[in-house]
Structures are given as C-alpha cells and as structure tokens.
Amino acid sequence: MMTQAFYTGLSGLKSSSYGIDVVSNNLANVNTAGFRGSNYEFSSLFEQSMCTVHNSTSDSIGLGTSLQATPMIESSGSYLLSDRSTDLAIFGDGWFGVQGNDDPLYTRNGAFTFDENDDLVTTDGYHVLGTMGGNIDGETLTKQLSEVALEDVEKQEKLRFPKTLIYPPEASTKAEFIGNIGTTPETRTMSASVVDPNGKKNELKLEFTMREQQTPPGTQWNVKAVTQDLNNPTVIYDTKEGVVAFDESGALISSTLTTIDNNGAPVEIDLGSGFNGVVAISNVDISASTFADGTVGGELSGYDVNRNGEVIATFTNGMQSSVGRVAIYHFQNDQGLERVSGTYFSPSVNSGKPIFYQNENGENIVGTEVSNFTLEGSNVDMTVGLTDLIILQRTYDANSKSVTTADEMIQKALNMDA
C-alpha cells in the first residue's frame, strides 16, 4: 500500500506538471494573433475496488492519473482593428492555408504582408495559399476581373504576383452625347475624350450649326465631328460631317453622322434617339454631357486585399482588377488537427482532409465572412488561465506531499524491521 501511495503521488506530480505546461503555454501566447489555446484532460489509471459488492456507493483506490488529451479550445478570440489591408480575420469557421517547409499548414493568424517580391506571406515567411486569377501574362494584365473563383483544394498555390504590372490600353469604340442645343441659330459644341490604340487620350469634338434652309416642323442642324490631339488641337486625325434633324418637340429623329476614325480606331458617334440623347428644346438651359468607353494604359500602384479575401491590383489610370484570392479551408473535425507549433496546425486522420464549402451549383465558396484591416486575437482567457495555474500548482504541492509522506512511511517501516 505504501508503494502504491508512492507511485500514485509520482503520477500526480507528472500529470500536474503536464497541466502546468499547457496552461503556461496558453498564457505565454495570450497576445499572439490567431492563437488557439489548449485544455487538459486527465484520466484515472487502474483502480482497485475496496468492496466486493458493486453499488453506487462503492469506494475504490486509484493508482494515479495521466494526461489523456490536450484538446484545442475552439472559441474565437477577440477581433482587433489594424492599419493594413493584408491583415485578415475569419469570422466563424475556417482556416487560412500556408505552405510549410514540406506540406501545407493551417492557421487562424491572418497577419499577412507582401514581401520584397510582392508574394503574399506570413510574418515568418510562409507563403499564403489561394487561387491565382490567371489574368496575368508576364507583366501584363490580360483581363479585368471583379472576383476570382476558388479552384479545388488540391489546386491551391502560393499567391505570388509580379512587381511590375501593366494595365494595357483599350481603344474607345463608342462615344455617347447627351444635351440640349436649343433652337436659336447659334453654334453649339460638345466634346468627349476618346482613347486611341496607343493608349493616348484624344478629343472628339462635335460642332452643331443650324442650317440656313429649315424645313418645318422642327429644326435641322449641320454637325461637324473632328478627332484631334487633346494637347495639340492642330493635329487632326479625322473629320466627318452630317445632318441631324429634330421634330417640333425637340426630339432627335435622324442623324447621318455615324463613325469617325481616332488615330487608327473607329469610334461610333451615338447621339441617341427621341429625347434620349441630344435634343433641341427652347426655353430649357443649354447643356452637354458625354460618355466614351476605352481606357488609357496604367502602371501598377500596388496590391491590396479586400474584405472578401480578393487580392486587388490598383493601377495609375484608376483601374483595379482582382488577381488572386486567399483560400479558406474547412475540416470535418477541427479538434482532430495536430498542433505543429504556435498557431500552425496540420491535418490528421481524426480531422479529415481540408475541404471547401460549395454552393447549390457545386461552385467552391469561402463559406464564412472574412474581414481585412482586422486580426483575430488569442482565444485564451487570462483570468481562467491564472485560476487553472493556481489549482494545478496546489495539486502539484499536494502530490509532492503525498510522495514525501509515503517516503516517511517506508522509512519508518524499514526502521521497525531493524
């Protein structure tokens, strides 16, 4: 019995020490972003019944305890605002994926940044995993995307982007004119900025002059269209002339002006129809507004991450495009994840393989809310941790006392034998 008490105390010391290690590690990471704390679970070793009759009041003598498991605390930590768009937080279920030294690792710590190569990485250098937009060829953006669809889990890759990226120019194909030229015989002008195939902005200018010979009802106007250099009007690319006619109410009923050349690219001239476009109405203020498609070229200003986890490239011409997306992984059993170190976990047989949620159309989706300019803090409650630490220390002291007592009993027994 004395030997049993000795070993029971030793097992208690060992278990308490393990528990103190777990709680101490939690408290040491109370300020670590994305840290998931651990609980401790003890189990009894073999027990010896003191009664031969089994009933609910039977007493037993245990042979000590052992640490059975250290399950992860799954509650979310507090959310903290930051000043970087690359700081991401997951509200709800999900994990970020990063490329470890060999296999992918999973974390709730979204403290990401773009390194010197414009790769999206963690603060300790792991590459963040996600889906590339596939709209970059070398250093040229091939397509403007509002969002990037998630590929399958096994197709996720490092989010790496070029340091130099060009938004190619898009020549204008259509210019729309809206306004009121009135009914008095005065020259009216309207102008629109149009982009040529070289990405240069030019001016498309319309000049309306009332015809000397009018055919009532309504009015008829000569219109002259000119494409010219925006900064040097003496450089003329093309000139077209036509006639526009309005009915007695001022609605546009016809126009012979169709297209004009813009330094190698045809531009459709759209004056509208009826009251949708250019009109000639008396007793209404003279006005003019225009819209033309096309985009001048631009150079990369930088990369940011939006609240949907989209990596956005911004250009000097004011345009933006999604070029990648941060992946959010899910597991059948988060408790089955194995802690590798700090905030990093790896899947196991108990957790299952990482998966993506899907919508009713079978498309991969994030399946949770992601926010930028935000970090998830540690989910460790310091007050609970300190309380557990005190309890474990008292338990350690009690087991230490039991070992000392057992030792004294053995010494007395030996002395009695002598």
Q: What's the Cα-to-Cα distance from 38 to each of 16, 28, 310, rounded to whole Å?
A: 15, 12, 32
* pLDDT at residue 390 is higher than 90: no
- Whole-number Å distance between alpha carbons of 398 and 61: 17
pLDDT at residue 384 in the model = 83
Q: How many CA atoms lie within 13 A of 62 on its CB side?
A: 11
| CA–CA dist 325, 354 (Å, integer) | 17
- Which residues, at least 6 apart from 70, have a Cβ–Cβ distance to it below 8 Å? 22, 38, 39, 40, 41
DSSP 170: B
Phi, psi of 279 (to 5 degrees): -130, 165
Question: What confidence score (pLDDT) does residue 326 get?
Answer: 97
Strand pairing report for 266-270 and 259-261: antiparallel
Which structure tokens are listed for 146? 């509002």
258-309 pLDDT, tens digit per residue, is: 999 999 999 999 999 999 999 999 988 999 999 999 999 999 999 999 988 9
Contacting residues for 52 by C-beta, under 8 A, at least 6 apart: none
Q: Does the pLDDT value for residue 371 go beyond 80?
A: yes
* pLDDT interval class at 219 (50, 70, 90): very high
Q: How confident is the model at residue 148 (pLDDT cuts 50, 70, 90)?
A: very high
* Domain 174-292 of CATH type 3.30.750: no
pLDDT band per the 50, 70, 90 thresholds, residue 72? confident
* Residue 305: per-residue pLDDT: 94
Is residue 377's pLDDT more than 60? yes
Measured CA distances, 312 to 23, 285, 321 (Å): 41, 43, 6
DSSP 316: T
Query: What mean pLDDT, rounded, does the chain reach?
Result: 88
Contact in structure between 242 and 257 (CB atoms under 8 Å): yes
* Amino acid at position 129, single letter: L
Q: How far is CA 366 from CA 308, 327, 404, in A?
A: 9, 7, 58
The CA-to-CA distance between both ends of the chain, in Å, stands at 20
Q: Where are the domains of the chain?
A: 2-74+379-417, 79-167+300-376, 174-292
Q: Establish how many alpha carbons lie within 13 A of residue 180's alpha carbon, considering only the half-sphere containing its beta carbon.
A: 13
Compute the distance between CA of residue 231 and CA of residue 237 in angstroms, rounded to an integer.
13
What CA–CA distances, in Å, run from 343 to 30, 95, 153, 254? 12, 11, 21, 70
- 10 Å CB burial of residue 246 (0-12, 13-18, 19+) is buried
Cβ 373 vs Cβ 81: under 8 Å: yes
> Which residues are 91's β-sheet partners?
369
Pairing of strands 201-210, 188-195: antiparallel
